[in-house]
Structure 1
Amino acid sequence: MSRLILYGIKDGRYLGDINHRGQGPGEYRVILGAFVDERDGSVLLPNFDNPSVYKYLLSTDSLEATLQRDMVMSMIEPIGGVSTAINVAAPSFDGLKIYQYDANYDLIDSIKVDGFRGGNFNMLWKNAGTNGVFMIADTLYTLMPGVLNQTAILQRGDYALTPEKDEEVTMKVMSGSDEMELLKPYILIRDIQYTDGKMLVTTMYDGNKYSDLYDMTTGGLLYRSQYDRLSIPSAIVVEDKGGKTIKVQSLFAKNGKWYGLVEDAAMENADSEMVDENYSIVEFSI
């Protein structure tokens, strides 16, 4: 929350860091969201105490400019990217307003979701590839300027944790009931990775964790992993260049490519770069 460290996703190479925590000019109190502009190697870091955005040069860790933005008082992390739209959520009693900015933090559009009620468990708000994604109950959207594009409806029926059920579970948790036991009957979305027409959805249900890979053109299920412990990172088994199967963990999708971590013992033929003494980054196709 105070220091931003960046590495290259293709090779794991250290690119630099931004470290200006403080209360003076050009300093920030906390990092809640940061956006890298690959065109000029800069980092946009919005302030949430005041309507401004600091633009730092990654190569020199120096402040290049201070941009102005609309005042949106929200502790929800902005999502998206400079190539799509930087989405800032502003929840209220009557709905959700989403302000959308470009790479200069100029307001380009906004979206209103009437009747929205966010909860502790039924809402997903994060990055997937280069897009922001938003999910409530069992409906998933990508966030584009002025439009909520519906990419999938996960048919979960009674297993979807609706806002009403979310409130009921929250009240029971606050009264001392076991959270994991209360949430077991519901399918909870915990992560989404999306690129090149394929979407990986990681869910929790009945005390287990699953990763399902879908072809978004046909809606077909391509792959499923099941984990007996919730702490195990998402994974997929693929073939390396020599035809050997390897297990790739902590998956990440961007710009039509898929990445993940592989234990070094499995890396005889894989196209990878070392990130530490135990794991390497690998790029693979699905």
Structure 2
Amino acid sequence: SNDGRLSVTVAALESIQITPAEVSLAKGTGQQYTAVGFYSDDTSRELTREVSWRSRDTSIATISVVGLAVGVGVGNSTIRAVKDGVVSNDGMLTIVVEDISFHLNVTPKNTFIPFVGGRQKFKAELVYNDGRIEDVTSSVIWQSSATDVAVIDQAGIATSVSLLENATRIQAILKSNTNIWAETLLHVSKSRPISISINIVDGTQVLNVGEQQKYILIGIFDIVGGRFFDLSYSAEWISSDTSVIQMIGPVARAIGSGKATITVRYQDERENTLQLTVR
């Protein structure tokens, strides 16, 4: 027969599809993109690691050679993939400020006071997931579950009224959102301490930035031969410089380099200090 000429060529890349086509991220988080190429012979193939990735605004989002986009600013950017002169569809990427969550915390935890007239001051704090702590003692509704055991005023000061050893739940409810609340137990002791000696034990005085250290406060109650109680959560802990040390109850959190004095106070009567260094 006559000759029939047959030419075999590589299928041409006709289009590129990237996914996701639209996504929203919190600043500082990432999103993996995928690229698929469609060819002239009706086949398709993943090209994620073969294309050149581009972000229209690199001050909003950057993207790596393997298609991992990271939000570095707040706003919008367009993500594209390019190979052999073929440009993909646009991927719309929106970067937003991270949603800051928090929980309500009441301190001190599981404390006790002497019967009739004993007082304990409570504090309500919003603890954020980025480490910030906001004092909201005056922004909550304070309640005692057993007012025949102890009452609490709206400054967070509880006063025992019982002659018997008992307990009540102290609850703080956020005024701006009554669905957010926290509580702790307040025990009323049937014995009144004669004397209290405060010592800070079991804790280093040098921390590295980012470390935490719990301190234990021991009260010596001279009642029938002497008894020892852990007053760590019954006392008030104060840092002289919260940019260096932040106190969450008896737990010291090292925030920045420097020195801070930690003051621990029990029942507004006894106090002691501890010098901490953060390096």
Give the TM-score of the pair, scaled to structure 1.
0.23
Larger radius of gyration: 2
| Higher-RCO chain (CA-CA 8 Å, sequence separation at least 6) | 2
